[in-house]
Structure 1
Amino acid sequence: MQYFTFGRNNHATGMTHPALTKNKFLLFWRRQISAIINAGADSGNTPKNKRTRVINISSLIAASLVFFFGGGLTIFSGSLAILYPAVPETLMFTGAIWLNYKRKYFYSALLWHMTFCTATLIFGIMLSTVIDATHMAGYLIGAPLLIFKQKETKLLAACVTCSILALVGIELNNNLHFFQPLDVSTTLYPVFRVATWLTVILLNVVVILFYLQQNNLLIGKLKQANAKLNKVNKKLAKASAYKTVYVNETTHELRAPLNALYAISQLLDDDSITGEDLQKMHKSMGYSISHALEIINNVLELAKIESGKTVPLKIERMVIRNWLEDITRVFTYQAAYKKVNIELRFEDDLPSEINFPRVQVTQVLNNLLSNAIKFTTDGSLIQVSAGCKGDTWFLSVKDNGIGMNKVTLEKIFVPFFTSGSNNPTGTGLGMHIAKKITERLGGSLVAESEWGKGSRFTASFRLNMEESPALSPADDPSSLIHPAKVLIIDDDFMGTHYYSKILGKMGCVVSVAYTGEFGLRAAELHRPDIVIMDMSLPDKNGKELLQEFKRHPDLSNIPIVFFTGSQLAEDQETAMRLGAEEYLLKPVQVDAINRILSKYAPEQ
C-alpha cells in the first residue's frame, strides 16, 4: 500500500509546482502594473483620478512601445539612430508617471503631451519614407481636448500649440528637407507600419475609453440631478396642491358664517323685526364674524401643524349647551337653503361646563356640520348629539344622506379624497383636517355609514383638560382707560374710522393720516405717544416709513406698532429688526389694542 502526502513532500524535497511559480510571477507583475497605473491617484477626486490613470496608462504603453520597438527596429535595421531618441523619450514618459506620483499633475500632463509631440516629430522625420506621422494628428490634438477641463486654459493652450508645431514641423521637413530620413530597407516597411498603427490604435483606445467613462460619469450625475429635480418638483407640486386646498378649504369654511351674515343683512331690511329677534340677530352677527376670523387663523395653524410647528392650545371652560347653540345657529341659515333642520340632543350625563380648546373643537364641529349639510337630502333632519362616555365626552353629527359604501368609508379621512360626483365642490381635506385636530387633542374621530341610510361622525375628547390661566380682573387691560395720543397711518378709510372710534372710547386722542408723507408731518406736529401704521401705503411701504421715523431726531423713540394684512414672515422679521414694537394682523381684536395701550402708553 502506498501513501501520498501532498505539500509536505514537495517542501521537503525543495520542489515548487510550476503552476504556482507562474501564478506568483503574474501576481507580482499585476501588482507592479497596478501601482504604476494608480501612481498619484487621489481617492477623493474621481475625475482627476481618471485623468491621472489615463496619463499613466498611455505613458506606460508609449514607453514600452518606444523602448521595445525602438530596440527591435534598431536590431532589424542595424542603425543606432532609432535608439538615440527612443531612450530619452522612454525616460520622459517614465518622468510623467513619476510627476503624477509626486502629485505634480500639471507638470506631469505637460511633460506627457510634450513627449508625445517630440516623439511624433522625431520619428515622423526619421521614418518619413516608411510611415505617415500625421496619423497621430487626431490623437495629439484630440487627447488634450477630451482629457483636460476647459477651465485649464494654460495647459490646453500649451498642449494644442505643441501638437500643431509638431505636425507643422513634419510637414515643413517633408517639403523643405531640413533633415534626411533614415535609409530603411523595404523589407522592414511592414514592421514599421504595423508598429505605428498599433501605437496609434492603443493610444486612441485609451483616450476613447477615458472619454466614455467621463461621459458615463456625466450621464450618472445628470440622472442624479434629474432625480433630485423630480423630487423637488413633486414637493413643489404637493406644496402647490396644499396651498390650493388650504385656500379652497378656507373659502369653504367661510361660507357658513358669511351665509349667516348675508341672511341676517337681508332680514334687517324687514321693519317688523324688533326687540328680542333683533338682539338675537345682532348676537349671531358678532358670533359669525368671530367665527370667520377663527376659521382663517385655524387653517393657518393647521398649515403649521402639517409642517411640524405645533401651536400652544388655549383650554377654556365653556358652557357646552350655549356653545353648541351658537354654532348650530350659524349653520341654521346655511341649512335653510336645503330646508334642512338641525336638532340638538344633550345626554343626561353631559356636564354643564367642560374644559376644552374652543377654537380647535369648533373647527372639528364646523367640518362635520358642513359635511352633513352638503350630503343630507333636502327637507331632512341633521342630529347633533353631545354626551359622555367614561373619561371622555363626544360630539356626534348624523345626517340622512345617501351614505357611503365600504370603499369610501375606508378613505374618508385620507387627504384630498372626495366622493366624486357626490361632492363636486369638495376639496377632500375637511374630514382630514377634523381628524388631524381631534388626534392632536388626544381624541378620536370615527365614521359610521351604511349605503342609503346616511352617515354618523363621532368626535371624542378628554374630559380632564386643564384650563389655561386667565387674566384676573385687576390685570385685565380692557378695564383700563388710556389717555394717550395715537397716530394712525393707514389708507383703509373704513378701518381707520372704526379703530379711531374704539381708541376714542378707551380715552385716546386719535389723529389719522392716509399716506406716509402726511403721517410723518402729523407726527412732527402732534408728537404722538404711539404710532399705528400699515405695511402697505400709497406713497411708500411701512418699512421705509419706519426707518424714517427711527432716523428722525425727535421721533425715533416713539413706539411703532404695525396693524397690517401682510402675513409674510419676512415682512414681520424686517419690521421687528428695524425697530417696530409690535406686528399684529388685521383685523385686530379689542383686547390686543388694550394690551398695546397698556404696554406703550405713558403712565398718567
Structure 2
Amino acid sequence: MNTISHYLKNIINLGAQGADANQARSIVIVNIMGIIPAIFTVIMAPILYWVTGDLAILISPLIEGSILFTIPLWNVLRRHNIAKLVMYSTHSLGLLYFGLLMGPNANIELIVVFLIGLSFLIYPNVTPRVISIAAVVGVLTILGISFGYHFVKWLVLAATILLNVMVFYFYSAHFNESIDTLVRLNKAKSQEFNRTNHETRNHLNVANTVCEEYLRNFPSDTENVTIPVRDAKALSFSINRIKEVVNNVLDYSQLEHSRPTPAYKKVDLEQWVEDLIQSYQVFAGEKNVSIVLELMPGLPDKVLADEKAMTTILSNLLSNAIKFTHADTAISVQLDAGRDNIIMRVTDQGPGLTESQRAHLFQAYITDRGNRYKGTGLGMPIVLETLKLLRGSITVKSNTGMGSAFTVTIPVTVPEQESVSPTEQLRPLGKTVLVVDDNPMNLRASEMQLKKIGCAAIKHTDVLAAIQSTFLECPHLILLDYQLNGMDGLEAIRLIRKQEHLKDVPVIITSGVAGIDTNKGLLAAGVTGFLSKPIELHRLYQYIQLSENALTTS
C-alpha cells in the first residue's frame, strides 16, 4: 500500500518541480483531477457494465479515463494550459454525456458546483475562470432543459452556484495573498541570510589577515606575541562588527520587517572613520594597497546618525575597493559635510566599470568583473538598501581602466554641544563576581571585562566546585552559563538557591541562545537577569550596580 501511495504522489507531482509556489499548486491540483478520476473510471466502468449490461457505460468511461491519464504528461512537457483545458473540457463533456445517459438520478448538479470551485483554484486570471464556469453552467442548462427542471429548482441552483462563486472568489484571493506573503517572507529571510554571510566574511577577512600575519612571522613554538595597538584595534573593531551581524541574525524581527527603523545615536565621525579604515588597512596591506583618509574642513565632530548602517555602507565600499583596486596603489576615502548631511567618497584604482557593469551594479549576485574576483555580488545591493533605509543616495563615476569613485550622501543631524558629566564615566565597583562557564576562553573574557570596572573574578568550570568556593568567599554577583557540560541552567540555579548563604545573591544567566530571557522556569527558580554573549560591558556594569543597591537595601 505504501508503494502504491508513493508512486501515486510522484505522478501527482509531475511537472511541478521547479515551478513557483502558486503554479506548482495549480499543477498538482490539475494532476489530481486527472489521475484520481481516471483511476475511478477504469475501476467503475466494468462494475457499471456488469450491473447494467450497457456497453456504452463501459466504453465511454474508459475513453474519458484514457484522456485524463495524459494530463500529467502535458504538465511534464510544460504545456500547463493544455493540461488544464484537457482536464476541464473532459470533465464537462463527461458530465453532459452521463447526465443525458443516466438522467436526473446522476445528480450532476453537485459535480457542477465542485467544478466551479475548482476553476478558482487552477486559474489565477479572470478570463479562463469565466470561460470554464460558463462551460459547466452551459452543461447544467442543457441537462436542466432536458430533465424539465421546475422554476424553483432553477432558482435554487442559481443561488447555489452564486454562493459557490462568491465563497471561492474571496477564498482564492485570500489564499493567494497568503502565498505571496509567505514567498516574500522566505525571500526576505534568504536575503537577510546572504547579507549577513557577506558582512561577516568582510570582517573575518580583516581578523584572519591580522592573525595569519603574526603566525607567519613568529616561530610555532612562540608562547607570547606582542601585538601593536593598531593591529589590536583592527581585530577588536572587526570582531565587534561580526558580533553586531550575529546579533542581527538572532533578531527574528529582521525577517518579519524588511525595513527596520534606523537607530540614531551620537557618532564621533573622525574616530569612527579612522577605526574602520584602520581595520581594513590590514586587509589592504596584503596587496600593498594604502587607504588614504581625507577629512574636509567644516566636518562636525559628532553627528546623530545610525552608526551601524554607516559602517555597513563604508565597509562594503572599502571591501569592494580593496578587492578590485590594483596592487601597489592607493584607495582614497574622503569625508565631507553638506548642509544637513555627510558625504563619503571612496575612490579606487581598479579596472573600472563598463556600461553593462554599471547597469547591473546594484543587482544581487551579479559579480561579473573578471573571474579572479571572488564575491557573492551582494556588497553594492546591501549598500543601496541600507541607503534607502537612511534616505540617502549614491552616485558612481567610472571609466574602463581608470578606476571607480563611489559618492554616498547620508542625511544627519548635528547635535548641540554638551559637556560630558564625570558621572557618565564607569567608576571602579570593587565587587567580587563568581563566573561559572565550561569554556575557559569565556572565563578569560569575563575576567577581562570585570577587571575594566574594578571587579575581581572567581572562575570555575563546574557548578559544584563553584558553590564550594563560595563558603570561603561569598560573591556579590554570580554569572552563570546556561549550557554547562552535564547540567543545564535550570538545574544549576536550583542548586545555587538551595545554599542558604546564596539565596539573596543575584544570579545572571549568560547565553548565546536567542529567547532565553523569556524562560519562565528560570525566573521562577530565582534568576535575577540575563546577558547575551558576547557580554557587553555597560550591561554587565548596570547589573553589578543593581546588585549592589539590592544587597545594600536587604
Q: Deviations over 1:50-94 (max 9, x none)?
A: xxxxxxxxxxxxxxxxxxxxxxxxxxxxxxxxxxxxxxxxxxxxx
- 8 Å Cα contact 1:298-1:359 kept in structure 2: no
Partner of 1:594: 541
Q: Deviations over 1:369-404 (max 9, x none)?
A: 111011112223211112233443311111121222
- 8 Å Cα contact 1:298-1:360 kept in structure 2: no
The separation in 2 between residues aligned to 1:394 and 1:350, in whole angstroms, is 10
Partner of 1:342: 291
The separation in 2 between residues aligned to 1:349 and 1:506, in whole angstroms, is 37
Q: Find out whether 1:574 has 2:523 as its counterpart.
A: no
**Residue from 470, 473, 481 that aligns with 2:429:** 481
Unaligned runs of 5+ in 1: 1-133, 137-196, 271-277
- 8 Å Cα contact 2:324-2:373 kept in structure 1: no
| TM-aligned CA distance change 1:541 to 1:469, over 3 Å | farther
The separation in 2 between residues aligned to 1:345 and 1:360, in whole angstroms, is 21
| TM-aligned CA distance change 1:244 to 1:441, over 3 Å | closer
Structure 1 residue 253: deviation in Å?
3.1
Residues 381-400 of structure 1 mapped to structure 2, 5 A cutoff: 381-400=330-349
2:531 counterpart SS class: strand
Residues 87-102 of structure 1 mapped to structure 2, 5 A cutoff: none
**Residue from 475, 489, 497 that aligns with 2:444:** 497
| TM-aligned CA distance change 1:474 to 1:344, over 3 Å | closer
Q: Find out whether 1:210 has 2:110 as its counterpart.
A: yes
Structure 1 residue 366: deviation in Å?
1.4
| TM-aligned CA distance change 1:344 to 1:500, over 3 Å | closer
The separation in 1 between residues aligned to 2:235 and 2:417, in whole angstroms, is 24
1:452 counterpart SS class: coil
Partner of 2:532: 585
Partner of 2:155: none
Q: Deviations over 1:490-522 (max 9, x none)?
A: 101122134235435755453333234544555
Structure 1 residue 470: deviation in Å?
9.0
Letter in 2 for 1:371: N
Partner of 1:563: 510
Residues 66-77 of structure 1 mapped to structure 2, 5 A cutoff: none
| TM-aligned CA distance change 1:377 to 1:497, over 3 Å | closer
The separation in 1 between residues aligned to 2:269 and 2:199, in whole angstroms, is 28
| TM-aligned CA distance change 1:441 to 1:560, over 3 Å | same
Task: Give TM-score scaled by structure 1 length.
Answer: 0.56
Q: Find out whether 1:413 has 2:362 as its counterpart.
A: yes
Letter in 1 for 2:360: K
Q: Find out whether 1:242 has 2:192 as its counterpart.
A: yes
Greater Cα radius of gyration, structure 1 or 2:
1
The separation in 2 between residues aligned to 1:340 and 1:349, in whole angstroms, is 28
Partner of 1:253: 203
| TM-aligned CA distance change 1:324 to 1:243, over 3 Å | closer
The separation in 2 between residues aligned to 1:198 and 1:339, in whole angstroms, is 85
Letter in 1 for 2:505: I
| TM-aligned CA distance change 1:232 to 1:424, over 3 Å | farther
Partner of 1:376: 325
- 8 Å Cα contact 2:192-2:255 kept in structure 1: no
The separation in 2 between residues aligned to 1:392 and 1:222, in whole angstroms, is 52
Q: Find out whether 1:435 has 2:384 as its counterpart.
A: yes
2:337 counterpart SS class: strand
| TM-aligned CA distance change 1:580 to 1:443, over 3 Å | farther
Letter in 1 for 2:429: I
Q: Deviations over 1:301-328 (max 9, x none)?
A: 49755643746635335262x5433332
Structure 1 residue 219: deviation in Å?
7.9
| TM-aligned CA distance change 1:307 to 1:300, over 3 Å | farther
2:192 counterpart SS class: helix
Letter in 2 for 1:404: L
- 8 Å Cα contact 1:342-1:384 kept in structure 2: yes
Task: Give TM-score scaled by structure 2 length.
Answer: 0.60
| TM-aligned CA distance change 1:423 to 1:285, over 3 Å | same
Partner of 2:13: none
1:572 counterpart SS class: helix
- 8 Å Cα contact 1:572-1:583 kept in structure 2: yes
**Residue from 351, 355, 361 that aligns with 1:402:** 351
Structure 1 residue 599: deviation in Å?
1.6
Letter in 1 for 2:105: N
Q: Find out whether 1:536 has 2:486 as its counterpart.
A: no
Letter in 2 for 1:451: T
Identity of aligned residues (%): 21
The alignment of Structure 1 onto Structure 2 pairs a total of residues equal to 399
Of 334-343 and 252-261, deviating more is: 252-261
- 8 Å Cα contact 1:305-1:311 kept in structure 2: no
- 8 Å Cα contact 1:531-1:561 kept in structure 2: yes
2:317 counterpart SS class: helix
The separation in 1 between residues aligned to 2:215 and 2:99, in whole angstroms, is 97
Letter in 1 for 2:103: L
Structure 1 residue 222: deviation in Å?
8.4
Letter in 2 for 1:242: E
The separation in 2 between residues aligned to 1:231 and 1:312, in whole angstroms, is 24
The separation in 2 between residues aligned to 1:356 and 1:443, in whole angstroms, is 12
Partner of 2:15: none
**Residue from 253, 263, 266 that aligns with 1:316:** 266
The separation in 2 between residues aligned to 1:598 and 1:317, in whole angstroms, is 26
Letter in 2 for 1:379: D
Structure 1 residue 468: deviation in Å?
11
Structure 1 residue 596: deviation in Å?
2.0
The separation in 2 between residues aligned to 1:221 and 1:326, in whole angstroms, is 58
Residues 91-490 of structure 1 mapped to structure 2, 5 A cutoff: 201-206=102-107, 208-211=108-111, 213-214=113-114, 217=117, 232=182, 235-236=185-186, 239-240=189-190, 242-264=192-214, 266=216, 281-298=228-245, 300-301=247-248, 307-308=256-257, 310=260, 313-318=263-268, 320=270, 322-351=271-300, 356-419=305-368, 421-422=370-371, 425-462=374-411, 464-466=413-415, 472-476=421-425, 478-484=426-432, 486-490=433-437
Partner of 1:24: none
Of 292-301 and 488-497, deviating more is: 292-301
2:519 counterpart SS class: helix
The separation in 2 between residues aligned to 1:532 and 1:468, in whole angstroms, is 39
| TM-aligned CA distance change 1:559 to 1:337, over 3 Å | same
The separation in 2 between residues aligned to 1:340 and 1:504, in whole angstroms, is 38
- 8 Å Cα contact 1:382-1:400 kept in structure 2: yes
